[in-house]
Structure 1
C-alpha cells in the first residue's frame, strides 16, 4: 500500500494502512507545506514563514527548518526504506506518487473529469475527487499563512466541483437521489444561487413542485434580507417555468410489444434471465431465425416490468430484414425520443447521441429491448451505462459484445419435441399426443409451429400432414400471403445477409446428407485451405446458420439443410461424393489391408496411422450411411458400391448390422439387377459376412454361394467366399463340407502367393485357419 498523505481535512499520514502520528506542530506545518506542493520545490524561506508566521522567528531559522525536516525524514520512508523528502537548491521537495497525496489526487481527478467525453465517467471522476475530502482543508494544521494562501482556493474548487457533480446527477436522471445532498449544500452555502437552482430542478423533476416553489421563496427571502437583491435570472426563469408547467420533465416510456401467447418452454433461458436481478450486464439472446428469440425476450420483459420503474424501450434494429439495417444514429433518435428528449435538443452525430442516451438513462432503471441486431457495431452505441439493462436479440452471436462489454450470451435453440407439441396444443386446442408428427415436421422451430397452426385452423390435421410429408416443407410452412411470416422468408433474410464466401459455403453444406459434418469436409467442398474454411465456419456459427458440436464438428438444422441445398451448385455434389469415396478407400487401406476389394481409384488422401483412420470413420459413419442411402435413389451409382465395399472391414469391426445392411441394400439398388458381376459378387460377399457375423449362417451360405458364382474370374474374392462358406458350414454342424472347403482357401492362398498377389492372399489365410481350427 505504501505511504498515503492527506490535507483535505485533518493532516493524515498512513503507511500500509497504519496511521503515523506527527505530533510536533512545526513538523506538521512543514509536512503540510510540502504536501500542498508535492513533487515541487519549497524554499526554506517559505517553510519558515509557514512555521513561524513571521513572529518569533529564530535567528537560526534555516538550521531550525533543517532540524525539523531531518526528524520528519526518519518517519517518512517508502516501502524500500528510501526517504521521501529530498534536499534541493535552497529548499526541499517531497517526492511521491501524485495519487498518494489527496490534494494532488483531487486536482488530477478534476482534470480527468474535464477531459471525459462521457457524462457518467465525468460524474464518477468528480464524485471520486469530492470523496477525498474528510472535512475542512488543513483543519488541524496551526498555520494561518497556509490556510490563507490555500484553503480559499481549495474551498472554491470543491464548491465548483460539487455544483458540476449535482448538474451531472440531474442530467443523468439521478435527481431524486441528490435532494438531501442539495439541501445540506444550500444550508452550508446559502448564497450560492446555482445550488438553489439545482435543488429546485431536482425537486420539480421528482414530482415535488410545491417544495420546489417553497425553495424559491426561501432563497428569494434570504437574498433580499442578506444582500438586498433579487435572485438572478436563471433562478427567476426556472421559477416561472415551474409555475407555468413548462419546465423540463423526465419520461417513463412503456414501449414493449404485446406478450406472446401462448408462451411455452424456455425454462432454462428464463431462469438465466431471472438471475440478472439488479444487474446491468448486457444480455445477448442469440439463435437461428424462427427459433423464438424475440418471443423469449418480450415475454421475459413483460414479467419483469416492475424491476424497471423508469420505463421500457423497444427498437427493431432490422438487422435481418428485406431492407437495410437501422443505422445506430436513427436507433438512438428513437430511444432518445422515447425518453422525452425534444427534437431541438437532439445532437446531430451518433457519438453525441450515444453520450446523451447514457446521460439521460444513468441513475434510472430502464429496460432496453434491442431486437434483431445485425452486428456489434450497430448495438454498441445503444448500450446504456450503469443502472439500466439492454437485452439484445440477434441471429449473430455478437461475440464482440461478450468480449468487450462483458455481455451475457443466452443461446436459444430449437424446442424439444415435447415443448413443440405443447406449443401446438395451445395453438390448436388439441391433445399433444395427436401432434407428435406435426411437431417433428416443424423441426422444433416455434415460427414453423405457429405457421402450421395458422394454416390448419379447424381443418383436419391428416391432410396438412400429408402435404408436409409429400411436398416442400419450406413452401408449406408459410402463412398465406404474409411472406414475412414464412420460414423460407426468415431463411432468405439470413442468407442474404451473409458475405459471399460464407454464402457459398453455407449452400454447399446443404449437400451434406447427415446431421453433422467436419471442417475438413467443408474445406473440400469449397476447395480452400482449412484455416480459411474454419474462419468461414466460425462466421456461420455466429449467424446461427450452423451449430458447433465439437472443436471441429458442426451441425445443420434439417430445414436449413433443405434451404441451403436449393442454393448449392451442381459441382458441389461431385466434390462431396469424391471426398467420402477417397476417405473410405484410404481408411480401408490402413485399417484392413488384407481384405479383398473392388478395383478402385487410388485415394487422393492418406491417413498417417490406424487411429486417425478409425477416428475418421467413427466421425463420418452416419454421413456415409446417409450418403449411400441418398445416392441409391439419385445417383451416381459407382460411389455407392465402392464405398459400401470399402466399408466391409469397418462394419466387421464395429458390428453395426442395421447400418451395414442399409449400405449394402443401397449398393445393390445402385448397381441394378443387370450390373457388373464383379460388383454384385463383392456385395454378396459383404452381405454374407454380415449374416455370418449375426450367426444367420443359412443366409450367409446363400450369399457366399452367389459370390462364388458371380466372381468366377476373381480368384481372390472366390478364396474369401470359400473360406467364409467353410466357417458357416462348420457353424451349422457340417464338418465334411467344412473339410472340403478348408482346402480351397489354403490352395488359393498358395496360388496367389506364388503369383506374387500376397495382399489378396491374406484374406484367405484366416478363412483357412478358421476352418482347420474347427476340425481340431
Structure 2
C-alpha cells in the first residue's frame, strides 16, 4: 500500500470513529461531513440513502474503498488534490494521541502508591528483577516479572518497593493498577484499566476509543519508545494482563497474582518469582519496627513467639504490630497468649473454641485478624463490619458514614482508627481500601453478627447517599436537560453560581466513577431496582461528556432490567424507555451501531406502551442523531419531524409539557442541520432561523443553544459558498458563547470563524481567531483542540 493510501485509510478510519462516538466534538462532525462532500463528488446514483450520495464507510473494506476514492479525486485536478490533502491533514489531527515521551512537557504519569519505611527483606526480589533488566532485551517485548504467592504475602508491597527503587531507570513514568483479581466479581475489565492509563498518558477521556481493541492500539502507540514501569497488581488471570502489556523493550512490567499465569509465562516470556513467608528473623525485625520503640521492652522469646504466630506472612505481621503500636494496654505477652490460644483452639479461660473457619483453622492471617478484631471497641467493631458489606473500590467518608449509619465526623475518626491498626489503608485523601483478605474477614463477621438483612440495609443507605451525590452533581453539569426520578426533586442551582461550577461537578463525578459503578452493581444484586435505574439516570452527564463506554453499557444493561422489574411492581413505567435510550448512546460511543439502533427501537416500544410521549420523542430524536452520524440525512430528517409530531400529542398539564418548547426548538435545529447536508441551503437557513427564534422565546432564553444554532447557520452559509454571511453568523456565535460562558464551544466557534477567514484570504484574522481558540482550549482543558489549533497556527505562520 502506497504511503498516501495508508494515510488516507487511517484518516478515514479516524473520522468515522470520531463521527460515531462523538469524540471529536463539533470539529469532528465538520470534518466527517467534509468527507461526505468529497466522496459524493461526481457520483452516479448508487441506491444509497440519497441518489448519488455516499454511505458512511464503517467496515475496513468500505474505508479502503473510500480512501481509494479520495486518491482518485486528488488525481483529477490540482484543486482537488489540495482539498484532499487539506482534509487528510485536518483528519489526522482528530486522532487521539499523547505527546511523545521525549518531548518537553510530555505526560510522565507517577501512579505508584507510596512505599513504606517499614519494608523489610525481599532484597532477593529486587536483585532478581535487576538481573532480568540486565539480560538481553527482546525486540518489541517488555521485561515481565510476575510475583506469585498467597494473599497477604506482601506481593504488592514488594512490587511497589522494587518499582520505586528502579524508577530512575525509567524516566518516562510509572503506571499502576489494582486489577481487583481476588474474585471474578471484583476483577476489573482490561478496558477500564486501559481507559485509566490512556487518560494518565495524556489522552482526553472523551477521546478514548469505546472498544478494547482500539484502546489497546492507542495504548501501544502511546507507550512506543517510552521507558516506563507498569505495575499490574492483584491480577486474576492472563486475560486481564495481556491487553495491558506495552510493546516497548524499554519497559518493565511487574505483575502480582495469587496464581501463576501460564500464558503470560509460556507465550509472552514472563518470568515468575514465588514469594514465600518472611523468615522468623525478618518477621521479628518487621514487627518491632511496626510496633515502635516507645513500648516497654519485651523478652526476645516473647517477641519471637508473636512473630512465629503470624506465620511470617507480612499482612499478619503488620496487623499485629500495628495493634501493639496504638494500644498502650496491649502487651507482647498478651498478644502471644491470644495467638497461642487461637492456634490451639482455646479461649482465654482455657475452654475449647469452635473454629470459625474449619477449612483453615491455622491460617495466620485469619488468626491475627481475629485477635485484632477482638481488641476493637464495640462501636469500631460494628463500623468495621458495616463498611465491608460490599467490595467498594475505595471506602470514602460518605460511603462509610451511610454504611454504618453514623455521622461523617464519627466515620472519619473511625476510619482513621482502623487504618492505625492496619485493618484499612489510606490510598488517597479520605479514601481508604481494604486488603481483600481483611474485607472478607469483616464481611464474614457482618454475616454472622449482623445478618444479611442489616447488611442489605447498609448497602441501600450507601446507594441512596451515592444517588443524592450523583444527582446533585449531574444537575449542576447539565441543569436544563429533562430527567426522571425523585432524586432530582427540589434541586436548584446555587445563587451567584460560578461559571466553572459545572466543570467542577463533572470532576467530582469522574473521581467517584468506579464507586458509582460498584453501587449500581450492589443495588442490582440486592434487588433495589428503584435505585439502580435512578443511579444510571444520574450518571448521564458523566458518560455523555467523558465516555467510559464499557462501564456505561455495563451499568445501563442493569438499569434496563431494573426499570423493567420496577415497572412490573408499580414503579415508574417511564424508566424502561429512558434506560434503553441512554444505553443506546453508550452503544453509539462504542461504535456498536446495530445495538444502538435496536436499543432505540426498544426504547420507543417501551415509551409507547406506557403512553410516555416525551420519552418516545427522545428515542426517535436519538435515532435521528444516529442517522446524522451515519450520513443518512433524509432518514434523520424524517426522525426529527416525527419526534416533533409526537411532542404535539402532549396536552396541557401532561407529563413533559413544560419541556415541549425547548425540545421543539432543538428538533428544528436538527432538521436545519439535516437540510444543510442535503444541500437545501435556503430551506436549512429558514429552519435554523426559526429554531433561533424559538430558543429566544424560552423563559430566560437559552444562550448556549442559540450559539449552537448560529454555528449551524455558519455551516449552511459556507455550504452555499457564502463565506461572508457565514462569518456574520459566526460573529454572533462567538458573542453568544462568550456571554454563556461556554469555553469549549467558544473555542469551536472561533475555529469555525477562522475557517471563514481562511477561505476569504484574511490570514491575519485567521491567526487571531486561532490564537483566541487556543487560549480557550487551554483554559478549559481541551487538550486535543489545543493541539489541533496549534498545528494550524504553525502551518499558517510557517
* Band of TM-score, shorter chain: 0.3 to 0.5
TM-score, with length taken from structure 2: 0.39
Higher relative contact order (CA 8 A, sep 6+): 2
Task: Point out the structure with max Rg over C-alpha.
Answer: 1
TM-score, reference length from structure 1: 0.40
